[in-house]
């Protein structure tokens, strides 16, 4: 039984095993097993792949983690950076506090009661660089600013030096409070002048760059006038007296060399609208105009002066007598305009020139003399009126206006010659003197504005300011960087090590991360940046200085600051470029140098030949010098008014020069022809031929209009580039032609042939100008040389010349049309400019009105406070009890009058507002129309300018084809 049971169990197991073996799962397992055994290698490979994949996945995970880490670290880095910045700020604050404490202590020790916050703010804004001074010699008007030093007394009173003087820029740092009344800030205002002298520069420096170069003019029929302008106590008298010492020496050094001159001196003052003689115990003088409109001062003492001592004595004597009064601002304030006049006379008594030194009265306004008496206020009003008139006259003179309003005040009346002198060597120098004290920064700004308005400003100013600002900023940065470097070096080692470790860690983490960018040395980069910026500004400064130096060589001041042309100048240049087809300003300087060189060379070789050439060279050089002297004037005019910008002056002088050139060419040619040896030229003639060649080269660079035989105006020797090339390539041929072309004139007396020859020359040059090909040109020249033998060809050529003459006429006509168009455009610009000027004048008058209104209001406020003080006194003492009725009545009448005034003002205001609204409405409509109209006009003008050129080209083409 047991066996049976065991067998059954075994059978069941067998069945279960077979069932399992045959089951699909087992089959799969077996298949897999067999596959495993068959592909064991392959599986190993796959497992490696799997491993790799796993690794990649792991790496990806790691990277993700790293990314998370880097994300985290960048956040941390930012936080660290912020922390660093905070620390830096704290350090800075601490430093500032320390500096402040140190300064406070220093100020206490030196008795300076200045506001340290303002002082530090101003220090941050200071300009620390200045350009070289430029001596003035060609400017009709020069404006120079001089800053006086801050006195210790002023510092004790809490005054700050609020002026930065960086030639040619003056920056006024005006200390101010914000609206909250607590926050301090500094308002900067920049001004640019011809020269700016700081407190460190002596009067000798001022003289060297201002009056000294002009002293010679007073011996050459010039009138040199110097004004000292500024608020009371700003150093006007100091500057004038300082200059006197220097010019006296220079004048007498000239007179000692040249005994024919005689000096006559007069000294008078204008006080309260009246003239007083300072050399005759303040005798009152009458200012009269004679029948020739010359201003004469009746009974004025004119003392002849023999030596320096005598002159100094006279000046001292006059200074003592001059009217001075103590004011709030200056204990010995000069209240008059003092005029010292030195007239240079010939031995025959005729006037050679004048030097006028005007020490103006203090420019402070009436409101500054509140506490002074009525007389002082009247004085102030008179002074203001005459200073306003002076400004108007100088502006009119500088802008080249036809009318100079010199009758506006007594001061300007006696200085009539200074404004109206037509001599090119007459000059005006305005010395604007300024006080550095912060409390007078209002007046300083007023003075600088006055000086700035005298001369038309140019748009170049910003460049100089930018350069100086950049330079000072770069310097500051460099200094900061250096100080931070020093701090870094002196910081404790542990901190440095920590920083190093941190940097290392950062570097390592960055190195681990293959995709991460290489670590930058930020400090190194900063340093480079700063240094680069510093170098850049240094470069700009050097450039500016180089330009300036170049100008000082040419004696043309203040061009260095005119790197960029203004908008108007650009327009004008574009127009001139357009008109250059007709009138081109030649490079005369170069040409003259060439001729001068040639003349010197010739003089060493052949004295005889050199005389004619050198005389032409010297004549040309003279012309060039005249032209160079004219340049600053035209430049000034360019700055002042566009209307004066047209190139008429230069063109006429160009024409003169070119006419002279042509004459010289003809003369030299003629003399060559007479001395000519057909086989070879003699030494003299070789030189002449050489100089003739040079003259012709110059004339080729100068487009000239000249007369041909028929009296027609024709243009010869074009400056067209193609023509230049041609002439360069065929220099020798031209040279020969030039000399040989003249020969038949002498050899053959045939007038017809002469004319034809000349016509041929002229026409061939026109051909060149009109870009005819060189072969045709060559042929024509060839034909011209064979003319001597062949009359038929000659006649043909003559006919051709007649055709070309008509062509020439046509070109001239077209040129005229183009020129007329350009003139129209220039006229338009002049009109625009005069409009601008009028507008500016209106604006200034408005400003003056506004300021006088403001002063009236201030006075009212003062009166009010006086009244209230009086009332309280009345209340206290009660002494006016009996008179109170009349007092109230008077007060009532005053109030009613004032109310009436204010009502009138209100009415004015209403009408003004109405006008404004109407104007705005009109303007918006007009503007739309005008824009449209202007566009149309411009298009038409462009067409008009283009069309003649096109027509001319097509006409030439036609002619070419016909020929
Ligand atoms: N550049 C300077 N260097 C040293 N001191 C100066 C300088 N400029 C002016 N001062 C001094 O300042 C004071 C006032 O100068 P000054 O009398 O010339 O002023 P001012 O402008 O003529 O005044 P006012 O219009 O009231 O006559 C004088 O004591 C003078 O010595």
Query: What whole-number distance in Å separates Cα of residue 320 and Cα of residue 313?
Result: 11
Radius of gyration of the chain (CA): 44
Establish whether 324 is an annotated binding residue. no
- HEC string of 179-229 equals CCCCCEEEEEEEEECCEEECCCCCHHHHHHCCCHHHHHHHHCCCEEEEEEE
Question: What sign does the CA torsion over 604, 608, 610, 615 have?
Answer: positive
Q: Which two tokens stand for residue 180?
A: 């909250």
Give the tens place of pLDDT for each residue, 801-817: 656 677 788 888 888 88
Residue 940 CA to ligand 1 center (angstroms) comes to 61
Q: Which two tokens stand for residue 783?
A: 């034909």
Q: Which two tokens stand for residue 285?
A: 């003088």
Output the pLDDT for position 702. 44
Residue 125 CA to ligand 1 center (angstroms) comes to 27
Give the mean pLDDT of 465-483: 69
Phi-psi region of 771 (alpha: psi -120 to 50; beta: other; left: phi over 0): left
Output the pLDDT for position 489. 63
> What number does the ligand 1 atom closest to the CA of 234 have?
21
Output the pLDDT for position 490. 61
Range in 132-136, 461-465, 784-788 with the lowest mean pLDDT: 784-788
Residue 835: band (very low, low, confident or very high) from pLDDT cuts 50, 70, 90? confident
Range in 188-202, 673-687, 822-836 with the lowest mean pLDDT: 673-687
Q: Which two tokens stand for residue 214?
A: 């002009």
Q: Which of 148, 336, 360, 365 has the most ligand 1 atoms within 8 A of CB, as the residue to mutate?
A: 148
Query: Which residues in 690-846 belong to E strands, given as ranges?
Result: 704-707, 713-716
Query: Cα separations (Å) of 920 from 835, 846, 925?
Result: 19, 19, 9
The DSSP call for residue 279 is T
Highest mean pLDDT among 416-420, 631-635, 691-695, 797-801: 416-420
Cβ neighbours around 567 below 10 Å, total: 9
**SS3 state of residue 159:** coil
Report whether pLDDT(77) > 60: yes
β-bridge pairing 262-271 and 141-147? unpaired
Report the DSSP beta bridge partners of residue 37: none
Establish whether 233 is an annotated binding residue. yes
Report whether pLDDT(267) > 90: yes
Give the tens place of pLDDT for each residue, 295-318: 889 999 999 998 889 999 999 888
Residues contacting 474, CB < 8 A, separation 6+: 530, 533, 534, 536, 537, 538
Residue of higher predicted confidence among 558 and 915: 915
Q: Which amino acid residue places its CA nearest to atom 14 of ligand 1?
A: 233
Give the mean pLDDT of 742-763: 45
Query: Cα separations (Å) of 86 from 79, 89, 161, 356, 802?
Result: 10, 5, 33, 63, 90
Nearest to 219 by CA among 264, 254, 259, 244: 254
Output the pLDDT for position 864. 81
Highest mean pLDDT among 38-52, 424-438, 621-635, 684-698: 424-438
Output the pLDDT for position 112. 79
Give the mean pLDDT of 231-236: 89
Give the tens place of pLDDT for each residue, 656-679: 445 554 555 555 455 444 444 443
Q: Which two tokens stand for residue 949?
A: 């050129």
Residue 148 CA to ligand 1 center (angstroms) comes to 8
Residue 433 CA to ligand 1 center (angstroms) comes to 9
Residue 98: band (very low, low, confident or very high) from pLDDT cuts 50, 70, 90? confident
- The mean pLDDT value of the chain amounts to 69
Output the pLDDT for position 949. 67
Residue of higher predicted confidence among 931 and 351: 351
Residue 545 contacts residue 132 (beta carbons within 8 Å): yes
Residue 237 CA to ligand 1 center (angstroms) comes to 6
Residue 359 CA to ligand 1 center (angstroms) comes to 12
Give the tens place of pLDDT for each residue, 409-462: 999 999 988 888 777 788 999 999 999 998 888 889 999 999 988 876 544 455
Residue 719: band (very low, low, confident or very high) from pLDDT cuts 50, 70, 90? very low
Highest mean pLDDT among 17-21, 908-912, 940-944: 908-912
Phi-psi region of 146 (alpha: psi -120 to 50; beta: other; left: phi over 0): beta
Residue 208 CA to ligand 1 center (angstroms) comes to 20
Residue 374 CA to ligand 1 center (angstroms) comes to 25
Give the mean pLDDT of 943-948: 61
Output the pLDDT for position 132. 83
Query: What whole-number distance in Å separates Cα of residue 255 and Cα of residue 593?
Result: 34
Residues contacting 762, CB < 8 A, separation 6+: 708, 714, 716
Output the pLDDT for position 609. 36
Give the mean pLDDT of 478-497: 66
Output the pLDDT for position 874. 67
DSSP codes of every residue in 89-146: HHHHHHHHHHHHHHHHHHHHHTT----HHHHHHHHHH-----PPP---SS-SEEEEEE
**SS3 state of residue 270:** strand
Residue 56: band (very low, low, confident or very high) from pLDDT cuts 50, 70, 90? low
Q: Which of 235, 244, 337, 432 has the most ligand 1 atoms within 8 A of CB, as the residue to mutate?
A: 235
Residue 232 contacts residue 364 (beta carbons within 8 Å): yes
Query: What whole-number distance in Å separates Cα of residue 470 and Cα of residue 320?
Result: 48
Establish whether 643 is an annotated binding residue. no
Give the tens place of pLDDT for each residue, 372-386: 567 777 777 788 888
Establish whether 637 is an annotated binding residue. no
Q: What is the dihedral of CA 834, 840, 843, 848, to 10 degrees?
A: -110
Choosing among 3.40.850.10, 3.90.950.20, 3.30.43.10, 3.90.180.10, the CATH entry for 140-145+214-456 is: 3.40.850.10
Residue of higher predicted confidence among 764 and 958: 958
Report whether pLDDT(69) > 50: yes
Residue of higher predicted confidence among 500 and 231: 231
Highest mean pLDDT among 298-302, 618-622, 867-871, 945-949: 298-302
Query: What whole-number distance in Å separates Cα of residue 624 and Cα of residue 654?
Result: 9
What percent of the chain clears pLDDT 90, i.e. is strictly above it?
A: 15
Q: Which amino acid residue places its CA nearest to atom 8 of ligand 1?
A: 235
Output the pLDDT for position 944. 62
Range in 95-99, 299-303, 447-451, 767-771 with the lowest mean pLDDT: 767-771
Query: What whole-number distance in Å separates Cα of residue 561 and Cα of residue 545?
Result: 10
Output the pLDDT for position 797. 56
The DSSP call for residue 518 is P
> What number does the ligand 1 atom closest to the CA of 203 have?
1
> What number does the ligand 1 atom closest to the CA of 332 have?
26
Domain segments of the chain as ranges: 2-78, 140-145+214-456, 468-511+523-554, 567-825, 834-962
Report whether pLDDT(788) > 50: no
Residue ranges around ligand 1 (CB below 6 Å): 148-149, 230, 232-238, 330, 333-334, 362, 433
Give the mean pLDDT of 29-42: 52
Report whether pLDDT(651) > 50: no
Residue 267 contacts residue 342 (beta carbons within 8 Å): no
Helix axes 648-675, 731-741, angle to 10 degrees: 70
Output the pLDDT for position 147. 94
In our burial notation (b when 16+ CB lie closer than 10 A, e otherwise), range 778-791 reads eebbebbbebeeee
Residue of higher predicted confidence among 922 and 759: 922
Element (H, E) at 176: strand 169-177
Residue 235 CA to ligand 1 center (angstroms) comes to 3
Q: Which of 165, 234, 238, 330 has the most ligand 1 atoms within 8 A of CB, as the residue to mutate?
A: 238
Range in 585-594, 761-770, 878-887, 949-958 with the lowest mean pLDDT: 585-594
Establish whether 231 is an annotated binding residue. yes
User: Model-level pTM?
Assistant: 0.47
Output the pLDDT for position 372. 58
Give the mean pLDDT of 671-689: 44
Give the tens place of pLDDT for each residue, 136-191: 767 889 999 999 999 888 888 888 899 999 888 899 999 988 888 888 899 999 99
Give the tens place of pLDDT for each residue, 856-872: 888 888 888 777 777 77
- What are the phi and psi torsion angles at 283 (to 5°)? -70, 135
Range in 100-114, 262-276, 545-559, 935-949 with the lowest mean pLDDT: 545-559
Report the DSSP beta bridge partners of residue 170: 165, 191
Phi-psi region of 111 (alpha: psi -120 to 50; beta: other; left: phi over 0): left
Establish whether 349 is an annotated binding residue. no
Output the pLDDT for position 305. 92
Q: Which amino acid residue places its CA nearest to atom 12 of ligand 1?
A: 235
Nearest to 700 by CA among 660, 663, 666, 727: 727
Give the tens place of pLDDT for each residue, 504-530: 776 766 655 444 443 333 333 343 444
Long-range contacts, 925-929 (Cβ 8 Å, 24+): none
Distance of CA 654 to the CA centre of its chain: 27
Q: Which amino acid residue places its CA nearest to atom 10 of ligand 1?
A: 235
Q: Which amino acid residue places its CA nearest to atom 23 of ligand 1?
A: 233
β-bridge pairing 169-177 and 303-305? unpaired
Nearest to 688 by CA among 700, 672, 702: 672
Residue 725 contacts residue 653 (beta carbons within 8 Å): no
Q: How crowded is the C-beta side of 714, counted as CA atoms within 13 Å?
A: 25
Q: Which amino acid residue places its CA nearest to atom 26 of ligand 1?
A: 333
Residue 897 CA to ligand 1 center (angstroms) comes to 44
Query: What whole-number distance in Å separates Cα of residue 941 and Cα of residue 944?
Result: 5
């Amino acid at each position: 039984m047991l066996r049976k049971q065991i067998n059954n169990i075994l059978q069941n197991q067998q069945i279960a095993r077979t069932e399992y073996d045959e089951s699909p799962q087992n089959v799969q397992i077996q298949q897999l097993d067999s596959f495993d055994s068959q592909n064991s290698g392959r599986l190993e490979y796959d497992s490696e792949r799997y491993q790799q994949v796993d690794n990649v996945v792991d790496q990806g995970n790691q990277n993700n983690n790293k990314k998370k880490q880097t994300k985290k670290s960048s956040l941390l880095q930012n936080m660290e950076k912020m922390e660093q910045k905070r620390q830096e700020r704290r350090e800075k604050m601490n430093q500032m506090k320390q500096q402040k404490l140190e300064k406070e202590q220093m100020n206490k020790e030196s008795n300076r009661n200045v506001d340290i916050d303002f002082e530090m703010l101003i220090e941050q804004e200071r300009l620390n660089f200045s350009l070289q001074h430029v001596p003035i010699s060609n400017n009709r008007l020069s404006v120079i600013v001089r800053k006086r030093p801050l006195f210790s007394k002023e510092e004790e009173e809490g005054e700050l030096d609020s002026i930065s003087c960086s030639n040619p820029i003056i920056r006024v740092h005006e200390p101010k409070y914000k609206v909250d009344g607590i926050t301090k800030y500094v308002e900067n205002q920049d001004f640019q002048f011809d020269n700016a002298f700081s407190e460190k520069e002596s009067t000798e420096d001022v003289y060297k760059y201002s009056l000294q170069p002009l002293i010679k003019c007073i011996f050459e029929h010039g009138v040199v006038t110097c004004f000292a302008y500024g608020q009371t106590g700003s150093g006007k008298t100091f500057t004038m007296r300082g200059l006197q010492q220097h010019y006296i020496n220079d004048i007498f050094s000239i007179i000692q060399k040249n005994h024919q001159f005689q000096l006559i001196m007069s000294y008078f003052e204008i006080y309260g609208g009246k003239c007083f003689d300072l050399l005759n115990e303040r005798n009152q003088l009458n200012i009269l105009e004679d029948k020739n409109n010359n201003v004469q001062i009746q009974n004025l003492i004119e003392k002849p002066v023999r030596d320096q001592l005598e002159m100094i004595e006279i000046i001292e004597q006059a200074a003592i007598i001059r009217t001075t009064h103590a004011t709030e601002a200056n204990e010995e304030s000069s209240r008059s305009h003092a005029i010292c006049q030195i007239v240079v006379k010939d031995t025959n008594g005729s006037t050679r020139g004048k030097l006028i030194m005007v020490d103006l009265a203090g420019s402070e306004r009436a409101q500054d003399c509140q506490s002074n008496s009525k007389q002082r206020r009247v004085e102030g009003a008179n002074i203001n009126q005459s200073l306003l008139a002076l400004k108007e006259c100088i502006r009119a003179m500088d802008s080249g206006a036809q009318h100079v309003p010199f009758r506006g005040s007594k001061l300007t009346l006696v200085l009539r010659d200074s404004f109206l002198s037509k001599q090119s060597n007459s000059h005006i120098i305005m010395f604007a003197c300024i006080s550095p004290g912060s409390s007078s920064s209002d007046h300083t700004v007023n003075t600088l504005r006055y000086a700035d308005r005298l001369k038309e400003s140019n748009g170049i100013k910003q460049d100089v300011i930018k350069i100086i600002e950049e330079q000072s900023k770069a310097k500051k940065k460099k200094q900061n960087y250096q100080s931070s470097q020093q701090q870094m070096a002196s910081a404790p080692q542990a901190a440095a090590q920590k920083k190093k470790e941190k940097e290392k860690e950062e570097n390592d983490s960055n190195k681990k991360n293959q995709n991460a960018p290489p670590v930058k040395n930020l400090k190194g980069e900063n340093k480079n940046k700063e240094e680069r910026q510093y170098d850049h500004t240094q470069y700009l400064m050097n450039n500016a200085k180089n330009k300036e130096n170049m100008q000082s060589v040419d004696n043309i001041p203040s061009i260095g600051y005119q790197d960029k042309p203004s908008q108007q100048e650009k327009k004008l240049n574009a127009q001139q470029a357009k008109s250059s087809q007709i009138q081109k300003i030649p490079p005369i300087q170069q040409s003259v140098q060439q001729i001068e060189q040639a003349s010197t060379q010739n003089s060493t070789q052949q004295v005889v030949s050199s005389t004619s050439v050198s005389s032409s060279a010297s004549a040309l050089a003279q012309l060039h010098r005249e032209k160079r002297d004219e340049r600053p004037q035209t430049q000034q005019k360019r700055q002042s008014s566009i209307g004066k910008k047209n190139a008429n002056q230069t063109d006429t002088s160009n024409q003169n020069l070119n006419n002279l050139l042509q004459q010289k060419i003809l003369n030299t040619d003629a003399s060559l022809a007479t001395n000519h040896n057909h086989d070879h030229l003699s030494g003299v003639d070789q030189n002449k031929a050489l100089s003739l060649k040079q003259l012709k080269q110059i004339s080729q660079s100068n487009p000239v209009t000249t007369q041909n035989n028929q009296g027609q105006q024709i243009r010869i020797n074009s400056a067209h580039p193609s023509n230049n090339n041609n002439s360069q390539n065929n220099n020798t041929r031209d040279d020969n032609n030039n000399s040989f072309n003249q020969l038949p004139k002498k050899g053959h007396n045939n007038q017809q042939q002469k004319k034809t020859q000349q016509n041929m020359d002229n026409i061939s040059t026109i051909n060149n100008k009109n870009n005819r090909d060189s072969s045709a040109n060559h042929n024509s020249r060839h034909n011209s040389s064979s003319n001597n033998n062949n009359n038929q060809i000659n006649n043909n050529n003559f006919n051709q010349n007649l055709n070309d003459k008509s062509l020439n006429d046509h070109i001239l006509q077209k040129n005229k049309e183009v020129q007329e168009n350009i003139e129209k455009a220039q006229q338009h610009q002049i009109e625009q400019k005069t409009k601008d000027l009028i507008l500016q004048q209106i604006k200034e008058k408005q400003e003056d009105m506004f300021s006088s209104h403001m002063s009236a209001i201030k006075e009212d406020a003062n009166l009010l406070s006086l009244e209230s003080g009086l009332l309280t006194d009345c209340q206290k003492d009660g002494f006016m009890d009996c008179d109170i009725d009349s007092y109230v009545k008077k007060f009532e009448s005053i109030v009613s009058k004032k109310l009436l005034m204010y009502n009138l003002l209100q009415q004015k205001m209403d009408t003004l507002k109405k006008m404004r609204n109407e104007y705005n409405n009109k303007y918006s409509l007009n503007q739309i129309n005008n824009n449209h109209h202007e566009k149309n006009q411009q298009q038409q003008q462009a067409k008009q300018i283009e069309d003649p050129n096109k027509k001319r080209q097509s006409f030439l083409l036609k002619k070419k084809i016909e020929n």
